[in-house]
Amino acid sequence: MAIRDILIIPDKRLRAKSEPVKAIDASVRALVGDMFETMYAAPGIGLAAIQIGVAHRVVTMDLAAKDAPPEPKVFINPEIVGASAEKSTYEEGCLSIPEYYEAVERPQAVKVKYLDLDGKAQEIEADGLLATCLQHEVDHLNGVLFIDHISKLKRDMVMKKFKKAAKKADSDKPNSDELAGDKEPSHHIG
């Protein structure tokens, strides 16, 4: 198992639609292991495979309290097959949009079909945080982020901030010439 890098906006891979898992084999079990390790290390309460760059419909989750025993959950090919008319609002965050939190309104309860790690079909009725988190993760599998559910003004502000940060991180990287040779850095001098 390994802790994998979490993709941060504006990484375009976060907008990809993930492919259904065809067979739950050793590679899927290894992916799930890496996802739990990455999610617990972050720490986060849920993770979609695309957040570590793997475009397969796999979600890990653990909603147990910090001082309680872990409750790891895996959802393969999850599908929302029903949603309540009643809505609820939750302050959401996302490991791919670090340190930004905003209220999101979603159906208060959902019915979700999925496969477990044994490939067995399951169906659950979720409400509260589980319902919110399942909707947030299924959104990821469809290339949708929680900021798509907030106002355009707020979304544009967040995107701008993260685009600027990505640009700076890139310009701060030494280029290959500088890595290979002993000459002065070619930019940001003087």
Taking the least distance from each CB to ligand GNR, the nearer of 28 and 136 is: 136
Q: Report strand pairing: 97-107 vs 121-127.
A: unpaired
Residues in the chain: 190
State the Cα–Cα distance between residues 86 and 77, nearest whole angstrom.
25
Contact 97, 84 (CB under 8 A): no
State the Cα–Cα distance between residues 147 and 145, nearest whole angstrom.
5
174 upstream amide cis, omega within 30 of 0: no
Give the nearest distance from C-beta 66 to ligand GNR in angstroms. 13
State the Cα–Cα distance between residues 142 and 183, nearest whole angstrom.
46
Taking the least distance from each CB to Ni ion, the nearer of 74 and 94 is: 94
Q: Which of residues 92-121 bind ligand GNR (CB under 6 A)?
A: 92-96
Evaluated on CA atoms 115, 116, 120, 123, the torsion sign reads negative
Taking the least distance from each CB to ligand GNR, the nearer of 28 and 48 is: 48
Taking the least distance from each CB to ligand GNR, the nearer of 34 and 137 is: 137
Does residue 158 bind Ni ion (CB under 5 A)? no
Residue with the shortest CB distance to ligand GNR:
44
Of positions 9, 21, 32, 45, contacts ligand GNR by CB under 6 A: 45
Indicate which residue of 102, 137, 178, 184 is catalytic: 137
Site string for Ni ion, 70-99 (x = CB under 5 A): ------------------------x-----
Does residue 59 bind Ni ion (CB under 5 A)? no
Q: Which of residues 131-150 bind ligand GNR (CB under 6 A)?
A: 132-133, 136-137, 140
Ramachandran region, residue 39 (left: φ > 0; alpha: ψ -120 to 50; beta: rest): alpha
State the Cα–Cα distance between residues 98 and 83, nearest whole angstrom.
28
Site string for ligand GNR, 64-93 (x = CB under 6 A): --------------------------x-xx
Residues forming the site for Ni ion (CB under 5 A): 94
Q: Which residues are identified as catalytic?
A: 137
